[in-house]
Amino acid sequence: MTSSSNISSETTSAAARKKKRARSNSKATAKKASGKNTGDTGGALSYKVVAGAPADLKCDSLIVGVFTKGAMPTLTKRVDKASGGAISKLIKNGDHNGTVAHVATLYDLPDVNASRVVIVGLGAEDKLNDKRYQRASVAALKSVMKGGAKTAASTLCAVDYGKTSIGWRVRYGADAIANELYVFDELKESGRKKAKKKSGSAKGLESLDFVVGNARQLKAARTGLVHGLAIAEGTHLTRDLGNRPGNVCTPTYLGEQAQKLGKSHGLKVTVYDEERMRKLNMNTLLSVSAGSAEEARLIVMEYNGGRKGAQPVALVGKGITFDTGGISLKPGATMDEMKFDMCGAASVFGTMATIASMKLKLNVVGIVAAAENMPGGSATKPGDIIESMKGLTVEILNTDAEGRLVLCDTLTFTERFKPTAVVDMATLTGACVVALGSPATGLFANDQDLADELLDAGNQAGDRAWQMPLWDEYQSQLNSNFADLANIGGREAGAVTAACFLSRFAENYPWAHLDIAGTAWKRGAQKGATARPVRLLTQFLMSRAGLKS
């Protein structure tokens, strides 16, 4: 019988023999990809908050809202009055019924300085909510851009609904609009040509103003705009990283991007190579990269915006930059989507960028476990037993259950920061997709207060999660005849047993696990990274920092 110490030494010697090589095509493609500014929130488009009579604003397009049954928000009434009832006439003639996202345009209205007035439906006044507000904002934006406007102003943020504040509505609106403008075309000829053009091209929308009801609201609205654009920056960065192909976005590349983010956002960044990880006995993490020519990386990004010495919140992300399944090879169909298996890591990057741009008064450490899972002569095999950094031995029954292997050592590593709470996010299991589909992220936690915080943050941010069980009854499925635990628990409750596996390595702090396998990217015609759960995490951290929505 092989002892734990022998297991560890065999893993080390195998890794030491493995020859690493850089891929020339990766470097060439990465050079092409570097033309776009990561985290761009709309190119040349600029945003600001203004107060004043909307009819007096000089712009190409002025956006106003209407409810069903002819009801109008305050600022829409002011434009209608200035124009001699032009909007009322439109509604009376049946050309606009106020249906959510229905758009009509009026041109050259008397005593209105805007060239066009874009009227967008908000639905029933008592049913307006964040989703309807978002739909209306995006529909109006599309109409404005289709009309060729360079300058626009929107009064939608001044429409009260529910318990929302002016700051929240500006934040939510700015984020929704910037998200709609996101395009990933840096590896297409059109995108490369666009990247070479100077900022402020003559084509397209160049500025958007958010119009508030009075000057007293300006301060809160401007804060909301800063927060909205910071979230947009973080989500764009997350989507960029997730959308980049595996021959560009390697573990080494992620380490380089972290260093760049550290310089631009004031983060302390440390990148561990395989030699340093080996000295830390991070053998389960290294077992995943064993078959790949790409070295693994452990990336630590520290944001110190809170009180000096205060314990941080830790965010941990799974960063499998491509997942073939290893020796337990995946089917070929849709395997290209396994470049998205690092979306947990990308979410850590995006959230760190967001809170740094917000200058959030909180200490946060973001930790990314990055590796590529490939078959090969030195790859980990089903049946191998690896000793983790914690000292527990793990029987590898399936090499495609690799996310929990990189995360378990990383969760142990995270203890050194003495965190007040740890939240990991990972595209971990297809079982979670079966259970919840794409609307909700799966949430598991060993601390109910932390779980409630995250659920509430998701509800506020429109990035919802659903709590799943983490009961002792499921732990026995991980029993192994030969090691302390197996890395899979069988067909039943796959998402739960994966979380149970992680929980064994997160016993020394309040911990939550977000399974984002169903929410991190979309398939089909809209294929691409979604940046979930950046908004949930940002709201969670804002609440921890004492900022109200």
Three-state SS letters, 411-432: HHHHHHHCCCEEEEEECCCHHH
Say how far apart CA 531 and CA 463 lie, in whole Å. Answer: 10
Query: Residue 221 corresponds to which amino acid?
Result: A
Phi, psi of 118 (to 5 degrees): -100, 115
31-45, 294-308, 381-395: the lowest-pLDDT one: 31-45
In the predicted model, what is the mean pLDDT of residues 131-142?
97
Angle at 282 between CA 309 and CA 250, to 5 degrees: 90
Instruction: Report phi then psi at 147, rounded to 5.
Output: -80, -5
What digits encode the pLDDT tens for the residues 208-237?
999 999 999 999 999 999 999 999 999 999
pLDDT greater than 80 at residue 8? no
Q: What is the pLDDT of residue 25?
A: 45
From the CB of residue 293, how many other CB atoms can be counted at a distance below 10 Å? 15
Bridge partners of 444, per DSSP, are 513
| Whether pLDDT at 344 is above 80 | yes
- Give every CB contact of residue 431 below 8 A, 6+ residues apart in sequence: 493, 494, 495, 496, 498
What residues are labeled active site? 330, 404
Q: In this predicted structure, what is the pLDDT of residue 548?
A: 75
User: Cα–Cα distance between 88 and 161 in angstroms, integer?
Assistant: 22
Query: Span 472-479, mean pLDDT?
Result: 98
Mean pLDDT of 431-448: 98
- Note the pLDDT of residue 22: 45
Please tell me the predicted confidence (pLDDT) of residue 202: 41
200 pLDDT tier (thresholds 50, 70, 90): very low
What is the share, in percent, of the chain residues with pLDDT greater than 90?
A: 88
**Residue listed under structure tokens 């259950």:** 401
Contact of 56 with 81, CB cutoff 8 Å: no
Could you count the other beta carbons within 10 Å of the beta carbon of residue 9? Answer: 12
**Of 56, 135, 122, the residue nearest 91 (C-alpha):** 122
Alpha helices, DSSP H only, in 359-463? 403-414, 430-436, 448-461
Q: Which residues of 115-133 are buried (b: 16+ CB within 10 A; e: fewer)?
A: bbbbbbbbbebeebebebb
What residues form DSSP beta bridges with 485? Answer: 394
pTM: 0.93
Q: Where in 446-509 does DSSP place strands (E)?
A: 465-467, 485-486
Question: 50-64, 186-200, 335-349 — which is least confidently predicted?
Answer: 186-200
Q: How confident is the model at residue 549 (pLDDT cuts 50, 70, 90)?
A: low
Do 531 and 238 form a contact (C-beta atoms < 8 A)?
Answer: yes
pLDDT tens-digit profile of 90-125?
Answer: 999 999 999 999 999 999 999 999 999 999 999 999
Q: Which amino acid is at 55?
A: A
Catalogue all structural domains in the chain, each as residue range(s) with its CATH number: 4-23+247-330+342-420+428-509+522-542 (3.40.630.10), 46-231 (3.40.220.10)
Residue type, 513: H
